[in-house]
Structure 1
Amino acid sequence: MISNRSHSYRKNDSLKLQPLSPCESHLQESEYKYLPLITRVSQEQFDPKWQECKIDGKNLLPRSSSAITILNNHLYLYGGYQYAIGIMKDFYKLNLSAPTYVWQNIKCDYEPGPRCRHSICSYQENIYIFGGQVADSISTNEIFIHDVKQQQWKKLKVNKTYPQPLDNHCATLYEDQWIIFGGFYNGDQCKHSNDLLSYKFRENRWVKLNKAKGIEPSPRDGSSMTSLNNSVYIFGGKNGDLMCDDLWQFNMLSQEWRQITTSRLNDPPKKRSGHSLISYQNNLILFGGIHDVTWELDDLHCFNLDLQQWKIINDDTSRGKEQELHSPPKTNRNPPRKRKPQKLPILLRPLSLRKSPCPSPKKLHSFSQSQHSSYSTNNQNNYASSDLSQCQSNLNNQNNATVQTSLNNVQERKRWEELKKKTAMLKLFEVENREIMNFQDDCNVAEKLKTSIILIGNPKQDLKLKKGILTEFGQQIISKFLQPLTGGQNTINGKKPCARDGHSVAVFNDSMILFGGDRHTMSFNDLYLLNMNQL
């Protein structure tokens, strides 16, 4: 998103590149004091294995829990979910061989309707959709088939072999079968599933593969599945609050499950659900997912089937700030208690600690010797007592006034510092009033979510200036992502996706295609390519 500051503001920036006065230098330091942190985040996002696809024209609405598949160099996408809109029913395709990426809406007279947490695949010039949620807490077990040439949807007849309504399952293709595992039965059973089912395309018939009782994965949903050689593999998932990090192999020839156990020294992936798992050559590629509440991941792992071990390609950076904060050392001894200073009475304090307006004994009211001698001993005691009481009262009043003045000064300074920080941060997102309408999205997302999306895509809008920005160290900063593209006009090289779950993946040639997902109920509509030859 290009910054839309006025020409006068840009002109003032160019003037600030000259030596600055102390007043201007202090102002600029408060305005750009956060630039080193933002620049570091941009550098951490750079990864040569990833490419972000530039969408020409209007982009899709952000969403998660959608499904994508590839047929004849075209990427097909159906449905999805967004917190502000709900379950979607739109159907799109994108030509991956075209010089520019453009989403094309496919409209048909008859459509499957709203669908999320479903599965989709392509088989013999047709696209199949199974299961998923059609409304809140309502799932389906229907199968719809789309004829690509005629651009028509058709609903297949449900027979007795069909499973109960199912959603949030995982699926993969194996030869002429569609393999489904896990998910949540939302019909009469209402429970998590660990069934492994095979759909015969030509017969319109489902077959349960794991009939024999033995070792098998526990019931779960949100896991991911892929096929390779004569086996299918699944990883992770969840059952309520219980997350899984186990890897399983099902041999399609012997019809048996086997859990693949690896050493903890090989850094296996964290427990997660909503992630993606694909196969490439003789490796399993794992990306993203959610590990805990509000903890989505952006790590990339590779499992070598020959070596039977995990390898970290990219570690998780979604909580980089927390990793930099070292916890204090733990000891068995309790920290020593600080003794509170004892406050001495006014008469017992040394003269140097007295801050009383009361005069010293030498500066008492001057009396003549005759006047002083005319007083009795009792009168002297009464006079001294009344004088000391008045001095102590004056002391308390002055101390209270001093403390109140100090507190007011501290609070005023804090308010001034907060105001200065807010002003500096607002400068980063300053937009002219006439251009505000251009930034409005079709999605009804809160303003704070829009700000988060901007920060993820481009942490500093002002970096789009050709000359860069002068920092507090007198150096100019230009974002790497804003330099001329080297990988073509439709991709941005080196930009990797942020942490997310609920995204969709597919394999195209030697690349993994990743679309959408969400993070903290904030959905995405970005499209990425992962070059698997560089793993």
Structure 2
Amino acid sequence: MEASKVRGRDNFTALKVDTKKYLETTDDLWEEIRPSGKHPSRRSYHSASVWQNRMYIYGGQDLREGPQRGLWELQLAPTRWEEDKWVEIPTENHGPLCRHTSIVKDNDMYIFGGTDGINEYNTTLIFNFVDQTWSTIAPEHQSCPPPLDSHSAALYEDGENSYMVIFGGYLSGDRSNETYTLNLKTDKWSHIPLSSPAPEPRANHACAIYGDYFYIFGGSNEEGEKLNDFWKLDLKSNIWQQVNAQGEAPTGRSGHSAVVFKEFMIIFGGVKDITRETNDMYSYNFEGNNWICFQGEQQVKDPVTSEQLEEYKKSKASPTYPKSKNDCNSPTRSPTLPKYKKDCSSPTRSPARRQTINISPQGDHSPIRRKTLYDGPATPIAGRIKGNAPHARDGHSAVMVNNIMIIFGGDRHQMPFNDVYAYTLLDHVVTTPLISN
């Protein structure tokens, strides 16, 4: 068989296998979405929810600018991609907020906790999408969670009752491992007593609901260590159990995301250590109890170069302009971008905007001073760039729209993003492990 390239752990390695079809159904599943209109400012540790196939972003933080405020709606056009657009929702101002959580039930979005950078909160904000009005649940009940941030939340539906399940997070500087539920029918909180054994206190972990179980993965403990333990809480018996799964589990991380796709939990990104964010992806099969890593870490180049922008303008101006085999047939699409050589720099973590030293195209270590992190829309292109994967990041959000996972924001080396990516989840992809070098 003719030699071709397959996905390796960190890069592409030549092997004597025919993987053309395999590549077309994995790496090409990413799309960068360039919506039109004014964009939300760069942010991480915001909340993201979906209502009627639209994504809503609330709050967040920029370490230079501080916690953010406001509610944004991302409208995704199903066929005319140049019509994807952001819209800021004009609503009552509740001030800046970050590191909170949100869920959606029917026409209401429930936001709990978070911090404005000085105070932590345990008020529940409720936004009605139809009336576009706010209401609140004051923390009066003795079973209400204390003020928390960097916790997790998920929607649990049990017959006629629905609950917001809250776990962990920061409590006055310390980490928590307590669980609370909000009955969305009665607006009453309940505290679930800890069983033994139970997860250790943590923050910035990820959670998911599947059946009658509430799952948590990873986060950081009281010593700041990145965890990769996996637990589930039986919401019928209120008993915790550590999940000992087969396969290749994700390495320890915090600030990652989790979504549920059919019988799978999909983990994306997070930070493994200082300056060690990742953009790898894992699937956990709830039914088969096994982990699979189906995307390794990828180094990502800035989305669009000036040369590609000129090519794009020419293709838009002339319907007869010749297209390469990598160009998309639709003039509303942006050109496909080339693969990027791995960045071997290791800059120190700093909240300030930074310059990095990258490997030159020739492969030597001569310094090239340029900004490499994506700082919002760098070009006036509106549309989608097929095959573009997101930078490594933590503090981002991930939501599901049908079988599409939408990634927004986050930060890398404390440089926040406001970019949007879509990944099409397919059964045979999330169940296919990476091929080792």
TM-score range for the pair, normalised by the shorter chain length: 0.7 to 0.9
Change (3 A) 1:75 1:248: same
User: Structure 2 residue aligned with 1:185, among 171, 185, 189?
Assistant: 171
> Which residue number corresponds to residue 76 of structure 2?
96
Matches within 5 A, 1:216-295: 216-239=198-221, 240-263=223-246, 266-295=247-276
Partner Cα distance (1:480, 1:233) in 2: 44
List 4+ stretches of structure 1 deviating above 4 A: 478-489
> Which residue number corresponds to residue 85 of structure 1?
65
Shift of 1:58: 2.0
Shift of 1:484: 4.7
- Is the CA contact (8 Å cut-off) linking 1:111 and 1:153 kept in structure 2? no
Partner Cα distance (2:33, 2:90) in 1: 24
Matches within 5 A, 1:519-530: 519-530=412-423
Q: What SS is found at the alignment partner of 1:167? A: coil
Shift of 1:101: 1.4
Q: What SS is found at the alignment partner of 2:28? A: strand
Matches within 5 A, 1:465-480: 465-466=310-311
Shift of 1:517: 0.3
> Which residue number corresponds to residue 351 of structure 2?
none
Partner Cα distance (1:96, 1:464) in 2: 23
CA deviations over 1:352-406 (Å, ceiling 9, x no partner): xxxxxxxxxxxxxxxxxxxxxxxxxxxxxxxxxxxxxxxxxxxxxxxxxxxxxxx
Change (3 A) 1:131 1:511: same
- Is the CA contact (8 Å cut-off) linking 2:69 and 2:95 kept in structure 1? yes
- Is the CA contact (8 Å cut-off) linking 2:195 and 2:238 kept in structure 1? no
Q: What SS is found at the alignment partner of 1:213? A: coil
Partner Cα distance (1:213, 1:150) in 2: 41
Instruction: Return the structure number with greater strand share.
Output: 2
Q: Which has the larger radius of gyration?
A: 1
> Which residue number corresponds to residue 509 of structure 1?
402
Runs (5+) with no aligned partner, structure 1: 1-39, 319-452, 468-477
Shift of 1:464: 4.1
> Which residue number corresponds to residue 70 of structure 1?
50
Q: Which amino acid aligns with 1:530?
A: Y
> Which residue number corresponds to residue 35 of structure 2?
55
Q: Which amino acid aligns with 2:302?
A: I
> Over aligned residues, Cα RMSD in angstroms?
2.6
- Is the CA contact (8 Å cut-off) linking 1:222 and 1:273 kept in structure 2? yes
Change (3 A) 1:246 1:463: same
> Which residue number corresponds to residue 26 of structure 1?
none
Shift of 1:267: 2.5
Matches within 5 A, 1:133-148: 133-136=115-118, 138-148=119-129
Partner Cα distance (1:113, 1:213) in 2: 37
Q: Which amino acid aligns with 2:396?
A: H
Shift of 1:305: 2.4
Shift of 1:288: 0.2
Change (3 A) 1:481 1:131: farther
Runs (5+) with no aligned partner, structure 2: 1-11, 13-22, 313-322, 334-381, 431-437
Q: Which amino acid aligns with 2:213?
A: S
1:532 aligns with 2:378: no
Change (3 A) 1:92 1:521: same
> Which residue number corresponds to residue 207 of structure 1?
190
- Is the CA contact (8 Å cut-off) linking 1:288 and 1:296 kept in structure 2? yes
Q: What SS is found at the alignment partner of 1:77? A: strand
Q: Which amino acid aligns with 1:232?
A: F
Instruction: Return the structure number with greater helix share.
Output: 1
Partner Cα distance (1:206, 1:117) in 2: 20
Q: Percent identity?
A: 30
Change (3 A) 1:76 1:229: same
Partner Cα distance (2:152, 2:281) in 1: 19
